[in-house]
Structure 1
């Protein structure tokens, strides 16, 4: 027990010093295993192995590699051309096309950062060249990039499904309408703000030309999501199919990538996976131990003594997650909080799938809030603009996202009607 107190004190000191999250989780995980795991640190290794011994985890690096391949290729550019040809008769058509492209690209890559970089590198210069306000352009791209989190396939949804043993297929299905709803809100706002912009005459020739050059890009989400929902692919198999399709299209059809380029893509993705899986192993091992000792159930009983209303609980969860999103990255938040919130949600009769969508949208907004808003940092690097300008640019879009969050929270049918 003396070692347990030493580890507890060390974990508090490391938290105060803001050390690497993996190191902190390792110390805290060791402490928990010493206190509740019969004082055997060997158990943390065993639990880490059990936690990672899941086939569905293979889908995460596969989707990340797929997103990197598409980010370096021509799929994003061809999607933008198709969407622009469709929306050209609208005032602010390019802005609306940008939001729609982010949604379609998100349905392929599963990553908000990849969506932002791939679409933003092309759309941002085009928006500025056509006279769109810089602040609006930054805000629209930075926010629309987060659609990669809620529109399936979604890496955070995969992690939520693993952490809570919820069907990943059900989570993907439940994310379709909320994702389209948020896309519609962002596109509607883009149209309203830019209603003074000149419109173009619709050109069927331009649209047909865009479809001809981009048909392989448009087929990808159809094949990917069609395979998942028809039952032909599991989430892991769909990730493998998406990767194979992306490589074939970019290397042999679009010819925007060379086979030697795949080496750089693999190294880049390995670095990303190397930051995710150690945290994943520790967090899931701790969750296994806490669940075995019914810690989530005890916490649920304790909190239910303070909050008696389902509406109050939903509001409290949203406030908590919005705050957590400001100070914790999405992956860590899901792995640490999802099992606890699931136990609480059951007390108030909240469907686990609906809770997963609520959590995902909350943490999606967290991608736009400092100090650890990943999309803000990615946008600052990709667009070479000041961090303060990017933070100001997303404020109206955050308000729209919060409005969408409230609708998704209190209209569960939006998430569950397709199940």
Structure 2
């Protein structure tokens, strides 16, 4: 346990001082290696081996597919179609934002990409229709949370590559809870907008035609059918997603500008490279903690003092809630996963259920003060103060955690689709 304490202190000090996460993780790993007198070369070896993971290719391709969707006109058509479906309802544009985020999430899998892709179109439209800048940004930020929950999910790819759990089963487990979060969001948006008088008797905003929308709506169905039906691996499906988005944008919508393709590839490579660097550093930390038997010691401690799976889940939620408030999603997953794998097995908790709950709870931290990444993106987007955006976000935060609490009370919310409906694992 001394190794865990040394790691927490080293990483905590550097993180508090504003050192980039990947450098803080790397420095903490080197400090621990020095403390236990192991060659620093081990860090380099574990760093490189962890990134030599074919499963992480899907992350790059899904990010690139999202970029091509934006450039090819697919994202705009999704928004246009949703806006017609909720026409005349109080808070209509807020509902358009949240539902469009859910649809985009079913193709992309990234919280930041979902927020920025939909927000770039919806934020100015909401402000023009009289919604407050802070609330408009809050809707975009809250919608971003469903990006990693509704499949496909980049954090679930990272989690599955770490634990060896089925990525397809993890993806399928996010269906219902992602839908519940979106429904909770819509209820919040409708209630707030009706109380404030937003979206009532206002001029309709034209987001363009919806010609060819069927190609966009078929896209998420095609992705999930390919993965859960066993027709393609997640990597193959992500590559297919890139080709599909390019084909539709180029030959069906004829809006894709090929001169922008190099910039899109660079953006996708930068996004995935940042995650992979964190994967490398965090994996090195995880190896050192495992070498020192820290996960086993924590398992023994928890099993000796906690006597029910429900209490374990309550303790887990508390830990994830606190970590999610102060740490970004990917490093939190990579740091905590090795610690929780042992106790999950000891308490006979369904690993797919735990994996989805684990990723979803940490994702909720992206809009939970004080350090939620999407909160600060909302502040930048709206030029509003932190207090204003947080105040507007609080009802959405409550909706997310309400869905998470329901999944603890009724685990079938997560396990029904992958285990019973699709029979991706289990009996």
Scaled by the length of structure 2, what TM-score is found? 0.87
Conserved 8 A contact 2:134-2:382: no
Q: Which residue of 2 aligns with 1:318?
A: 317
Task: Give the Cα–Cα distance (whole angstroms) in 1 for the partners of residues 112 and 11 of structure 2.
Answer: 31
Matches within 5 A, 1:20-419: 20-34=20-34, 39-88=38-87, 90-195=89-194, 198=200, 212-291=211-290, 294-418=293-417, 419=419
Conserved 8 A contact 2:62-2:108: yes
Task: Give the Cα–Cα distance (whole angstroms) in 1 for the partners of residues 212 and 200 of structure 2.
Answer: 26
Task: Give the Cα–Cα distance (whole angstroms) in 2 for the partners of residues 8 and 150 of structure 1.
Answer: 28
RMSD: 2.8
Query: Could you say if the C-alpha distance between residues 46 and 112 of structure 1 is closer, same or farther in structure 2, counting changes exceeding 3 Å?
Result: same
SS at match of 2:152: coil
Task: Give the Cα–Cα distance (whole angstroms) in 2 for the partners of residues 243 and 12 of structure 1.
Answer: 39
Conserved 8 A contact 1:7-1:27: no
Q: Post-superposition shift, 1:86?
A: 1.7
Deviations 1:279-311 (A, max 9, x none): 111212332444455431221101222322322
Query: Could you say if the C-alpha distance between residues 306 and 18 of structure 1 is closer, same or farther in structure 2, counting changes exceeding 3 Å?
Result: farther
Task: Give the Cα–Cα distance (whole angstroms) in 2 for the partners of residues 60 and 353 of structure 1.
Answer: 20
Scaled by the length of structure 1, what TM-score is found? 0.89
Query: Could you say if the C-alpha distance between residues 72 and 92 of structure 1 is closer, same or farther in structure 2, counting changes exceeding 3 Å?
Result: same
Q: Post-superposition shift, 1:333?
A: 0.2
Q: Post-superposition shift, 1:98?
A: 2.2
Deviations 1:40-97 (A, max 9, x none): 3322333233322221111111112222222344222111111122222544333323
Query: Could you say if the C-alpha distance between residues 9 and 393 of structure 1 is closer, same or farther in structure 2, counting changes exceeding 3 Å?
Result: closer
Conserved 8 A contact 2:65-2:108: yes
Q: Post-superposition shift, 1:399?
A: 1.2
Query: Could you say if the C-alpha distance between residues 9 and 411 of structure 1 is closer, same or farther in structure 2, counting changes exceeding 3 Å?
Result: closer
Query: Could you say if the C-alpha distance between residues 386 and 76 of structure 1 is closer, same or farther in structure 2, counting changes exceeding 3 Å?
Result: farther
SS at match of 2:362: helix
Conserved 8 A contact 1:72-1:118: no
Conserved 8 A contact 1:71-1:114: no
Aligned residues: 408
Q: What stretches of structure 2 of length at least 5 have no aligned partner? A: 1-5, 420-427
